[in-house]
Structure formats: structure tokens, C-alpha cells
Amino acid sequence: MNKEFFLILLKRLLTSIVVLFLMITFIFILLRLSPGNPVNKFISPELSPEIIEKIKADFDLNDTILNQYLSFLTNLMSGELGISYNYREPVLKLIMQFLPFTIIFTLISFTLQVAVSGILAALSVKKLNGVLDSALIKFNLIIFSLPSFVIGVFLILIFSDVLELLPSSGLRSYDFDSKSFIQKVLDYASHLIMPVMTLAIGGIAVFYRYLRDGFEETINKLFILNLKANGFSDKTIMLKHIIPNALGPFIAAAGVELGILLGGALITEVIFSLPGMGRLTINAIMQRDYPLIIGCSLTAGTMVILSNLFADLVRAKLDKRLTKDIIN
């Protein structure tokens, strides 16, 4: 099994490198070919042509696209992502400033998604097609059809504007520094409640459906009926047979969801003015900050690939029959 896992890891790593290379190449070329120029905001009609060319040279934009691309690859191989046009700081430094918040924010939301969807699926499976199960399925369809920004705006309207219970934006209050330690913790929590709910609600709907359908499919299989006929308790059957066999599709979906969240919850972070990768990415796009756009895209792509790789390894560990399929 160690050899098989090594083959899985090696194949996925090689594939991931190729995917990341193609992704950043496509983004690099697309940015250069798109209308507009990021140095326009630094150029005045009163400047001489010599100064304008010098400004373009400082941004490394006065060369051909091919030479720019080769220079970019050379810097990338040495671990250099360039200097942000807007922030005038190394891209890697900016990413390391914004990424920790996104990781913490994502893990909180992801944990809530898994926990709540697991509890709801466990309650539904006790009586499939019952009142609770039918109600959860209908409610799940409504939530699943709503974009995250709609959920976020609705939460702000209810809890911030109408009830005035929670702050609508930011990570902390203006008087944060004057608060005690406990008050600071509560202040952080109050600012994160709505963003976490916005990010988690959609994932709960997705995960619940995967878990519920997986449980239903597994319960109706012949070997489960055989275990019940042989006198095994419902608890033993659920913990040792139904859950492990029903988790495959859920783990695959969770890997994709976690990667997307780690890459930056774009809309949620912008709506609530949170200092994460999502907001950094949006700002980079709006400012046409080429190095920062590529750095954020590379980070997001890496997160998605790593989370999917981890999910595949977990699935192969739980169900050894999947190992051959993953390798192939």
C-alpha cells in the first residue's frame, strides 16, 4: 500500500505542476492581451516621452510579451513573484500578510459546514422520506439556489440594519484597542458571525445532499440488509459500515470546497470588508496589478490542488478499491 500511495502522490504532484504552469501561463497572456495598461494611472500628458518610457521600463512592460513571459518564468523558478504595482511591495510578502486570515476564516467555516451537514444528514437518515427529511430537502434546494452574496446581503439587512445586533463590515471595532482581552475576543467573534454564516450556509446545503444521498444509497445495499438479518446493532452498522461506505462522494466534494475557500472567498470577503486573499485578489484585478493577480491566482490554484490531493488520499485510505482508479 505504501508503494501505491507513493505512485498516487507522485502522479498527482506531476499533474499539479503542469496544471499550475498552464494556468499561470494562460493568465499571464490574457492579462497582457486585455485592453488597458496598468501604468496609465502613473502617466500624465505633461510628461515627456522619455519619462513615460522609463516608467514603462520600471514596470517591465516595454518589452515584447514573449520576453516578459520568459523573464516572469525565470523569476518564478527562483521563487520571486515580482513587486506589486499598487502596494509597491513584494507579492509574496503581501500574500503572506493576507493568507493567514483566509486560512483561519476558511477552517472555521469549513468545520461548521461539515459538522452541521453531518448532524442534519444523521437526523434525516433515521427516517428517510419522513417529515424532517422532506422539509430539509426542500429547504436545501432553496439555499443551494441562492448565491453567497445574496445570503450575505440578507444577513446584513436582518442582523445589522433591522435588529442592529451585529456589525456589518470589518474585523474589529474602532475602539478595539481600549477593550479588555475578553471584550476583544467577543468583538472579533461578533464581526465574524455573519461572514462565517454566509460562507458556511451554501456549503452545508451541498454537503448535506452528498451525505444524505450517500447514506440512503448505502442503507439500501444488500450487505447492510444482511448485517441487520444477522443481528448487528443499528449503531454498529452505522459507524462501521454505512458511514465509511457513504463518505467517498462527500470527501471528494469537501476537497473541492476546501480548496476554493482556501483560495479566497472573493465575494464574502469583499461584502464584509475582510482582510483576506479574496479581497486582495479583487483589489489586484481592479487595479490591473499584474504581478499580484498572478500571485493570487497561483496561491488559489495551489490550494485547490493540495486540498483535492488530500481528499483523494483520504478516500483511497478509507476505500482501498479506489487506489487503482486514482492512480489511473
The predicted structure's pLDDT at residue 164:
81
Cell numbers describing residue 298:
497561483
User: What's residue 162's pLDDT?
Assistant: 85
Segments of 38-132 assigned E as strands = none
What pLDDT digit, counting tens, does each position of 87-133 carry? 888 888 899 988 888 888 888 888 898 888 888 888 887 777 777 77
Query: Which cell numbers hold the place of 83?
Result: 513587486
Q: What is the CATH topology of the domain spanning 2-327? A: MetI-like fold (1.10.3720)
Classify burial at 30, counting beta carbons within 10 Å of its beta carbon; exposed 0-12, middle 13-18, buried 19 or more: exposed
Q: What mean pLDDT is reported for the chain?
A: 79
**Cell 508503494 sits at which residue?**
3
* Cα separation values, 82 from 52, 59, 70, 279, 284, Å: 21, 10, 13, 19, 13
Find the mean pLDDT for residues 50-68. 73
pLDDT of 88 reads 83
d(CA 251, CA 311): 6
Do the Cβ atoms of 279 and 87 come closer than 8 Å? no
pLDDT band at 327 (very low <50, low <70, confident <90, very high): very low
pLDDT attached to residue 302:
84
CB burial of residue 69 (10 Å; 0-12, 13-18, 19+): middle
H or E stretch covering 278: helix 277-286
Q: Would you place residue 246 in the very low, low, confident or very high pLDDT band (cuts 50, 70, 90)? A: confident
pLDDT single digits (tens) 289-320: 888 888 888 888 888 888 877 777 777 676 65
pLDDT tens digits, one per residue of 63-98:
778 888 888 888 888 878 888 888 888 888 899 988
Look at residue 71 and give its three-state secondary structure: helix
**Using CA atoms, how far apart are residues 238 and 245, in angstroms rounded to an integer?**
10
Domain ranges of the chain: 2-327
CB neighbourhood size of 39 (10 A)? 16
CB 305 within 8 A of CB 16: yes
Checking if the pLDDT of 260 tops 80, the result is no
H-state helical runs in the chain? 2-33, 49-58, 65-77, 91-125, 131-145, 148-155, 181-219, 222-229, 234-237, 243-263, 266-271, 277-286, 290-318, 322-327
Query: What is the tens place of the pLDDT at every residue in 200-237?
Result: 888 888 888 888 888 877 777 777 777 777 777 777 77
